[in-house]
């Protein structure tokens, strides 16, 4: 069971039964609050999946304009409920109302972006090869390539984004836009937020005339495991830890009928600065610490590794500025214990040391911390160097020559983002090539945190950043995870247009 839940005896019409539940806990005080939310039973899950299966027939063949209207209705309803949802999410996550308001706005923006793309035809491409007379290969009937939804999608929400990667996140928006019915497995870190968000979405879809099973929410580890193993589920997505993601990936692939699975997992995002790429040391370090501590460091785009030239005084500035920094509490106790373990692993690199740490605070808190290690040791311990610290912890390594940097980057595992601070006069082609091999996105003179929600965005990367580097969880291309190509050969136009 999760760290924010338990097992209790619940009375029903016949007898008491042992059931599990999710319980909201305030990270600032570590005290539980609010009602228990009971985990979804196998019987209830089966009913939900039956309903999703029945609804998929309606939702999949709905016209793009009607589907767009439904998504817009959901976005409007979430905006109208924003005060309640943000207040709940802040109490459950301690991420702050400002951050959470922006995150909810990002979620509704995504829904409207997909709605717009449905209206203008961007999500409904048709490739047509006109019929050609003669014998193959030159001759052939008309070939029409379209895209159809995979069916019922299981979406596993993230702890650190209760909205944008949660019950109303990008996976939900892209799955619905693709024509899939979506079943969300709520994260135990914010059960009340997930339930309130889901209630808002269900009511909005009903008001738009959509069937009840287009969107559903389930709770509990056992329900999540059953969900991905159930043959009524056709595709799954996940955002979270490598351990959890790989466990689900295995379940998805061990089924009698394996299903597509996209997991966004761990990522140590390297940032490289050349000597001419740092013009103002104080500003550079301040921006680095802003990025490192954003959201208490609980971001998949956190700048986990910073490689800077020796002799510029970066470590001295870090030591000076970090002592004045504080951050909010972590999301839950599991995050704190895992972070403590990973920091201990980093400190096993020979001659590594803590440069400085920020101020202590109450709750599930870890002070913002920067560690350094000699470049020679870093090169020899790349496996440890690649340890993701999910929290306000970063590793700064000073180098003498860019050849040392290239050696480090070439040995790094896949990541979501690689950043490069250099001047236009620098010859960094080799570095860019190396970063491009390991990253899904390469940023020029920008910190990795902050993922712009644009049609062309790619939020994924080589393993372990994600389980499929070809796919993204942000942007219009994220719908590709939830649909497949279908070729219609020799069909008349009217018949072809009826397929969905």
pLDDT tens digit at each of 500 positions of the chain: 345 777 665 555 445 566 799 999 999 999 999 999 999 999 999 999 999 999 999 999 999 999 999 999 999 999 999 999 999 999 999 999 999 999 999 999 999 999 999 999 999 999 999 999 999 889 999 999 999 999 999 999 999 999 999 999 999 999 999 999 999 999 999 999 999 999 999 999 999 999 999 999 999 999 999 999 999 999 999 999 999 999 999 999 999 999 999 999 999 999 999 999 999 999 999 999 999 999 999 999 999 999 999 999 999 999 999 988 989 999 999 999 999 999 999 999 999 999 999 887 889 999 999 999 999 999 999 999 999 999 999 999 999 999 999 999 999 999 999 999 999 999 999 999 999 999 999 999 999 998 999 999 999 999 999 999 999 999 999 999 999 999 999 988 755 555 55
Cα-Cα-Cα-Cα dihedral sign, residues 371, 375, 378, 382: positive
Contact 409, 270 (CB under 8 A): yes
On whether the 5-265+466-497 domain is CATH 3.40.605.10, my answer is yes
How many angstroms separate the CA atoms of 449 and 303, rounded? 7
- CA 238 from centroid of its chain's CA atoms: 7
> Which pLDDT belongs to residue 498?
52
How many angstroms separate the CA atoms of 238 and 157, rounded? 7
Q: Which residues contact 94 (CB under 8 A, 6 or more apart)?
A: 26, 27, 28, 296, 328, 329, 331, 363
Q: Where in the chain do CATH 3.40.605.10 domains reside? A: 5-265+466-497
Is there a cis peptide before residue 464, judged by omega within 30 degrees of 0? yes
Report the half-sphere exposure of 452 (CA within 13 A, side-chain side).
8
> Which pLDDT belongs to residue 1?
39
Q: How many CB atoms lie within 10 A of CB 385?
A: 24
**CATH architecture classification, 270-444:** 3-Layer(aba) Sandwich (3.40)
- Residues belonging to the active site: 264, 300
Two structure tokens written together for 276:
């001419």
How many angstroms separate the CA atoms of 4 and 187, rounded? 10
Contact 413, 464 (CB under 8 A): yes
The answer to whether the pTM exceeds 0.85 is yes
Q: Where in the chain do CATH 3.40.309.10 domains reside? A: 270-444
Contact 286, 292 (CB under 8 A): no
* 101 SS3 class: helix
Two structure tokens written together for 323:
């002592």
Instruction: Give 411: exposed, middle or buried? Use CB within 10 Å, 0-12, 13-18, 19+.
Output: middle
């Amino acid at each position: 069971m999760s760290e924010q839940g338990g097992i209790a005896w619940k009375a029903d019409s016949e007898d008491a039964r042992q059931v599990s539940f999710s319980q909201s806990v305030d990270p600032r005080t570590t005290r539980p609050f609010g009602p228990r939310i009971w985990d979804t039973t196998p019987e209830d899950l089966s009913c939900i999946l039956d309903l999703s299966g029945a609804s998929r027939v309606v939702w999949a063949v709905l016209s793009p304009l009607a589907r767009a209207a439904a998504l817009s209705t959901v976005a409007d309803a979430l905006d109208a409920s924003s005060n309640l949802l943000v207040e709940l999410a802040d109490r459950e996550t301690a991420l702050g109302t400002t951050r959470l308001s922006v995150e909810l706005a990002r979620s509704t923006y995504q829904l409207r972006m997909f709605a717009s793309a449905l209206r203008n035809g961007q999500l409904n491409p048709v490739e047509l090869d006109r019929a050609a007379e003669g014998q193959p290969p030159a001759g052939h009937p008309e070939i029409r390539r379209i895209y159809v939804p995979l069916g019922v999608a299981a979406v596993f929400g993230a702890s650190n984004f209760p909205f944008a990667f949660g019950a109303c996140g990008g996976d939900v928006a892209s799955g619905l836009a693709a024509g899939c019915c979506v079943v969300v497995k709520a994260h135990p870190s914010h059960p009340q937020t997930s339930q309130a968000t889901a209630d808002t979405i269900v009511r909005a879809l009903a008001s738009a005339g959509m069937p009840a099973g287009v969107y559903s929410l389930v709770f509990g580890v056992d329900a999540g495991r059953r969900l991905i193993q159930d043959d009524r589920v056709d595709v799954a997505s996940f955002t979270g830890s490598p351990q959890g993601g790989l466990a689900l990936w295995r379940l998805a692939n061990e089924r009698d009928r394996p299903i597509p699975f996209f997991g966004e997992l761990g990522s140590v995002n390297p940032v490289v600065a050349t000597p001419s790429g740092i013009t103002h040391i104080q500003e550079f370090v301040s921006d680095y610490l802003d990025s490192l501590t954003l959201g208490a460091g609980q971001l998949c785009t956190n700048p986990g590794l910073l490689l800077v030239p020796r002799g510029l005084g970066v470590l001295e500035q870090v030591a000076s500025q970090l002592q004045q920094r504080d951050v909010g509490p972590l999301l839950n106790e599991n995050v704190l214990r895992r972070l403590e373990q990973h920091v201990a692993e980093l400190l096993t690199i020979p001659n590594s040391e803590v440069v400085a740490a920020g101020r202590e605070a109450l709750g599930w808190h870890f002070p913002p911390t920067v560690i350094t290690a000699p470049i020679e040791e870093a090169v020899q311990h790349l496996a440890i160097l690649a340890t993701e610290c999910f929290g306000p912890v970063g590793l700064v390594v000073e180098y003498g020559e860019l050849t040392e940097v290239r050696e480090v980057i070439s040995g790094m595992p896949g990541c979501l983002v690689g950043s490069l601070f250099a001047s236009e006069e620098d010859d960094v082609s080799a570095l860019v090539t190396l970063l491009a091999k390991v990253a899904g996105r390469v940023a020029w003179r920008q910190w990795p945190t902050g993922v712009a929600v644009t049609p062309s965005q790619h939020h994924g990367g080589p393993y372990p950043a994600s389980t499929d580097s070809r796919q993204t969880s942000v942007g219009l291309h994220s719908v590709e995870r939830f649909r497949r190509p279908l070729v219609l050969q020799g069909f008349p136009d009217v018949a072809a247009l009826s397929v969905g």
